[in-house]
Amino acid sequence: MERKIENWVKKIVRGKLWRKPLISFCNAESTEILPKIIPNHLTAEDVLPNAKSVIVYFIPFTEDVVKSNVNGKRPSKLWALAYIETNKLIEFINDYLSKKLENLGFRCAKIEPTHNFDENSLMSYWSHKHIAYFAGLGTFGVHTMLITEKGCCGRLGSLITDAELKYGEIIGEELCIHKKGKKCLECVEKCPVNALKENYFDRRKCYEFLIKNSRIYGFFADVCGKCACGVPCSKEISNSHKYL
């Protein structure tokens, strides 16, 4: 079953915006801790009674997408388009997986790729990043994003199901250079509005900047991504300051 799901996702993710995706599975019980650390966060059981697993996948952006967003204060048009198109892709993948699994007799609950957060607290009702962490896809960087073996530049999607799958394990080592004890903090230096610090993230300041960016290209894309682009963890796990 796990191999089928992996192949289904890999078959869909094609084109000039994306590299080959990473796919893993999280025990639904792992989500029970999330309401204790993230206010108002849901558990898998809250969304789908008798849930057993969460399918989670990371769709990494190509070098062209990442490079386009390295310079300047505002996000590149290609980065904004990649955000929009990847959210559409995640919705399609979840629709596709749901139909496949339902045909096999399993129930599913689809999770929106984005904008599933409280606008007052700016905290998510469902954190794809934390699900991916529990599934062993990566660890958190200083920039609060998940660093995977294919870097942090990309989008995460997830789908809850009552199918019992083989679960990934939390990675036992830090993938963030700074958290490993080496000097970096390049993500902090690249934040255009100083919302990011070594031990603090000003969600409100970041969000306000995203909203300012949201319509600069004539379509709604509340993006930035500057802290993720042109840094050692953009496209890979790095033990040194290796750029794009």
Q: Which pLDDT belongs to residue 41?
A: 96
Q: Which pLDDT belongs to residue 239?
A: 61
**CA dist list (Å): 161 to 16, 102, 132:** 30, 9, 15
Q: What is the DSSP secondary structure assignment for residue 17, as one 8-state letter?
A: S
Q: Which pLDDT belongs to residue 243?
A: 38
pTM: 0.95
Show the low-confidence residues of the chain (pLDDT under 50): 240-244
Residue 9 CB contacts under 8 Å (≥ 6 apart), including other chains:
21, 23, 57, 93, 97
Q: Which pLDDT belongs to residue 160?
A: 98
How many other C-beta atoms are found inside a 10 Å radius of the C-beta of residue 146?
24
